[in-house]
Chains A and B, each alone.
Chain A
Amino acid sequence: MGVPTPKNLVTSANRWARVQASVTSSYTQVRGVRIGPGSYLSRDYGLVGGHTLPRSHMMQWLGDKSINGDFHNNPFCYAPRNHIPNYIPHTTSKISRDDIVKKMADPEYRKIVNENTYKPFPLNPYTKTSFLLSEELREAILESSRDPEMSLWQISSRYGIRKERVAATVKLAKIEKDWEQEGKITPDLARYAHRMYMMMPISNGRLSQTTLADRLGEEPMEEIVPPKTARRNNIQIMHETAEFSPQDAASFFHAPEATELMDRQLYADIPKPFSFEGVEEKDLVQKIKQWKGRYTDVVFKGENVWAAIPARAGKVGYRYGASRDHRKKHRKHKDERLNA
Chain B
Amino acid sequence: MPKKPSSPLRSLARGLLRASWHKQNLYNFFKKEAYRRSASLYQQKWESKRETRAYHGDHITENNWLGVFKKNLVGAETLHDKDDKSGEREPVPIALQLYAPIERRLDMAMFRAMFASSPRQAREFISSGKVKVNGSKVKHGFYPLCPGDVFSVEPECVLTAVGREKPSEGFSKEVDTKQLEAFQKFKENCKEDPRNMFEQKFTPISVDGPYDPDRLYQNVRAMTVENLTNKIQDLNLDGVSAEDLVAKGQMEVEQHRDSFRPGESVTADDPSVSQLATEYFRLDSTASEPSPEAKDLLKRIAHRRVEIQQAELQELVRLFRGAASVYDPRWYYPYLEEYCGSPLPWQEGSYGLQDPSKPYFTPWTPRTFLAPFAIVPWHLEISYKTCHAVYLRDPITRRGHSEVISPLPLYMHENAYLFYVRDRQ
Contact = CB atoms under 8 A, between A and B. Distances in A.
B274 to A, nearest CB: 39
B419 interface: no
Which bracket fits the contact residues of B?
35 or more
Interface stretch (A163-171, A282-290, A312-320, A322-330): A163-171
A123 B406 CA distance: 9
A191 B163 CA distance: 11
Interface stretch (A79-87, A150-158, A236-244, A262-270): A79-87
Given A97-B30, A223-B78, A192 B375 contact: no
B329 interface: no
A127 B386 contact: no
Contacts of A67: 175, 178-179, 182
Nearest to A131: B376
A181 interface: no
Contacts of B371: 76-80, 85-87, 199
B140 to A, nearest CB: 15
A51 B109 CA distance: 37
Interface stretch (A24-32, A251-259, A273-281, A302-310): A24-32
Contacts of B388: 172, 175
Interface string B56-96: 00000000000000001010111111000000000001001
A340 interface: no
B13 A33 contact: yes
Nearest to B373: A120
Contacts of A200: 374, 376
A33 B35 CA distance: 13
A188 interface: yes
A193 B372 contact: no
Nearest to B394: A225
B178 A124 contact: no
A58 B355 CA distance: 34
Interface string B350-394: 010000001010111110111111111110011111111010110
Nearest to B398: A223
B201 interface: yes
B410 interface: yes
A220 B398 contact: yes
A87 B247 CA distance: 64
A199 B381 contact: no
A106 B211 contact: yes
A155 B163 CA distance: 36
Contacts of A74: 369
A102 to B, nearest CB: 14
B9 interface: no
Nearest to A3: B346
Interface string A77-107: 1111000011110000000010000000011
A259 to B, nearest CB: 31
B182 A188 contact: no
B420 interface: no
Contact of B396 (A128, A225, A232): A225
A144 interface: no
Interface in A31-56: 31-33, 35, 41, 52, 54-55
Given A4-B346, A67-B175, A124-B406, A169 B381 contact: yes
A234 interface: no
A78 B409 contact: no
Contact of B77 (A9, A77, A165, A223): A223
B384 A123 contact: no
A74 to B, nearest CB: 8
Nearest to B114: A196
Contacts of B397: 126
A188 B159 contact: yes
B147 interface: yes
B410 A192 contact: no
26 contacts: A4-B335, A9-B183, A27-B30, A27-B31, A28-B33, A54-B13, A62-B23, A62-B27, A76-B371, A78-B371, A79-B374, A126-B401, A132-B376, A162-B392, A164-B147, A168-B392, A172-B383, A175-B150, A175-B386, A190-B385, A192-B159, A200-B376, A220-B398, A222-B80, A223-B78, A231-B72
Given A57-B31, A130-B375, A168-B381, 17 more contacts: A27-B30, A54-B12, A67-B182, A74-B369, A88-B29, A107-B211, A121-B407, A132-B376, A164-B147, A171-B150, A172-B388, A192-B364, A192-B384, A195-B365, A199-B371, A223-B78, A231-B72
Q: Which 4 A-B pairs have the closest CB atoms?
A: A168-B390, A168-B381, A86-B371, A54-B12
